[in-house]
Chain A
Amino acid sequence: MNQSLENTEQRSVDSQENKMNFEFNEEQQMLKESMQRWFQDNYSFEQRTVIANSDDGFSREHWETFAELGWLSIPFAEDFGGYGGNIIDTAACMEEFGKVLLLEPAFPTLILFGGLIQAGNNSAAAESIIPQIIEGKVLGALASNEVQARFDLSNIATTASEEGDEFVLNGSKSLVLGGAHADHYIVSARSSGEQTDDDGINLFLVDKDAAGLTVSPYKLMDGQQVADLQLDGVRIGADKLLNEKGNGYALLESVLQSAHVALSAEALGIMQKLNATTVEYTKTREQFGVPISSFQVLQHRMVDTFMAYEQTKSLLYGTLCELTDGTTSAEEADMTVKALRTIVAKYGKLVGDEAIQMHGGMGITDELDVGHYVKRLMMINLLFGNGDFFQKQYNQLAY
């Protein structure tokens, strides 16, 4: 474990860190480069396609390798055997995962499931499960969404009734990311209040084999294998609760904030890849006897997608600074996260649409990677909110 990564106390002593800069530090650069090298050897688009078409839709062998390389330890505290990374380390990895369209369930297991366990107040659960995540032995998923809720985290009809030292869960969950292969689920359920109240929400750790739990897996267009869950009288011990009873909403929201940043970093990686692919293609594709890159109308459109990428990158890196500088207020940083997801939605669409259009007919073939990158970008902008949803949240905070 942790062959290539070390927990160095000196990370913050890096002199570059004290000056204003918007670069990943040396250690994060090395991590990104080692990921790039591994992906170059093992994760070409052809190799990825084989994995995507396999039964699991991801490679368990690769997942074990990621554990050996220490990648699965990055967001977790050193107390659990983790690397002790912060949101900047997470973003550094997610950019790389975006560039290769990673199929392995890093986002659902590490960011959502692992993130909630680490941020929750159930230390027994954290101590037993996080080390297993780091070793690659446990996959997890967050079951927060319900069919009527669209993007509203607190719209929860699933109930949790207390009976002695147990809770009984009844209801159904939809679009559980990583849900097809999870060993454990974190299920949000209501112990009190109206269906859309923030109060009365709880997060329970539910084993995949729990009696009364039915898992219905299906695929998404971006290759993810997700599931809907049906909970019929699933009995859960009170020791599987991750939050103080009824106060789960704040926990959910704080982990979702990291998730928004992680998805934005993944989107940025995808945008970079799509822009580079498109620029290269227009230089080789000839029509009317010349490369189509010589047409000014296409040049200006590629400049617009370049600027879209740079603006997104600036806001992402600014967000990373605001979340870690210790001086930006929580409310202000939260606004910036909403702004970030708004701009990711807007420019993700622009970059994706333009990449397909400028590839011409090839752009709509399944054979070319472009359409696959676009589908993942589209999924990112449909998870936990779309552009309008985040912009509305931003407006409410700002005005």
Chain B
Amino acid sequence: MNNSFSAEDLEFQKEVREFFATEFTDDLRERAKLGSQVKEVATEWQRKLYEKGWIALDWPKELGGTGWTAVQKFIFENERCNAGAPDVVPFGLKMVGPVIFSFGNDEQKARFLPRILRSEDWWCQGYSEPGAGSDLAALKTKAVLEGDEYVINGAKIWTTYAQYADWIFCLVRTGNFDKRQHGISFILIDMKSEGITVNPIHTIDNRHTLNEVVFDNVRVPAENLIGVENQGWTYAKALLAHERTSIAGVADSKRWLEDIKTLAAKQTNANGPLIEDPQFQSRLSDIEIELKALEYTELRVIASMSSGQTPGPESSLLKIKGTEIQQQLQELRMETIGGYAGSLVDEDFANDLQQAGSMARRSYMYGRAATIYGGSNEVQRNVIAKAVLSL
């Protein structure tokens, strides 16, 4: 048993820390916090990462990725969170990029990958449909080949940032077979195509992040199909392997926990600061202890990956526990702040607490999605039941 990083890894950690200290400026931090310039801030920050060569953690080196080990990625994620820097927008870099370089042809690779690395195209994900959520294979959006074009009809839903997107990658039905997973294809669609309508979905955080994307006889060149027709499900599943290292969000949660401690040290009444209240302390340590255990669970997965094993369905555990902890922290943060956490204010804050409150409200409300997206936590439990416990 050994929980120590190697000397090289510690050297690497130093380099990463210095990078964040100089490149993630206070200006970027403030704008990222406000959350009103999502696209501008993300693009600006991601260009800096691109120039450093640190934009694509999961890509092979020869394609412009970092080629980092699991431990290096873990270190990078920790330093990123400590610096308060946002994660890259995942749809291009973490989702469609790996599918293109794993299953796409050379033309597709040359056409799309460099633009993804340079944040020149904004991508969104077209998986879920009004009638296909956790049961993704029930999807009905149809693609019919006519000449050298597919004609697409149907609707996708919960599409994050579709309002900014240049491209959407979609799972569409190209055939009907006994097994529903068969007959699904993976296709790339230009959002400027005729026949696409983006309808905003306003969420309980009083923001606009999600959309419905409707396809009405949208014509897509057949060359935009990834891999083989009807095999898209396999590609979508393989992509999950690329999402695993930061799935638990441990580093983010650790930072939030520290924020709550700072807030609780300032909140004082006649009995002293909130942080000294025994009842509050127990609520905090309930979460902190669980998080500490989860950090070691994540390290166990990383250590086994480093010795050549692929993480199995245990990563469902990271997703379940990680998102449960995130939600507990969001709740405790609101309660720590008090009534101000209800503030519906997005700028010109009356004071720091009102700003913290408004942000806490937003992340609590939108945070309800974490146990739903990426396969709801109930579906994750089904996965563990079947694949780990053989039930």
Contacts and interface: CB of A to CB of B under 8 A. Distances in A.
A320 interface: yes
Q: Is the interface of A mostly helix, strand, loop or mixed?
A: helix
A288 interface: no
B389 to A, nearest CB: 5
B149 to A, nearest CB: 43
A322 B321 contact: no
Contacts of A312: 293
A391 B279 CA distance: 11
What band does the interface of chain A fall in when counting residues whose beta carbon is under 8 Å from B?
Answer: 35 or more
Contacts of B292: 315, 318, 336, 339
Contact of A314 (B278, B285, B293): B293
Contact of B3 (A299, A310, A311, A321): A321
A208 to B, nearest CB: 38
A310 B307 contact: no
Q: How large is the interface on B (under 10, 10 to 19, 20 to 34, 35 or more residues)?
A: 35 or more
B381 interface: yes
A20 B2 contact: yes
B282 interface: yes
B350 interface: no
Interface in B58-116: 71
A253 B367 CA distance: 43
Contact of A279 (B4, B6, B281, B389): B389
Most buried by A among B1, B295, B296: B1
A318 B3 CA distance: 7
Given A279-B391, A314-B300, A303 B285 contact: no
A17 B390 CA distance: 33
A325 B3 CA distance: 7
Contacts of B297: 310-311, 314
Nearest to B276: A399
A303 B384 contact: yes
29 contacts: A18-B2, A19-B2, A19-B307, A20-B306, A21-B303, A24-B1, A279-B391, A282-B391, A296-B382, A302-B391, A303-B385, A306-B388, A312-B293, A314-B297, A318-B292, A318-B293, A318-B295, A318-B299, A324-B1, A327-B4, A339-B289, A343-B293, A392-B278, A392-B282, A394-B285, A394-B289, A395-B284, A395-B285, A399-B284
Given A317-B1, A399-B261, 14 more contacts: A20-B2, A20-B4, A20-B5, A22-B296, A300-B381, A302-B391, A311-B290, A315-B293, A318-B299, A321-B1, A325-B3, A339-B289, A391-B282, A398-B281
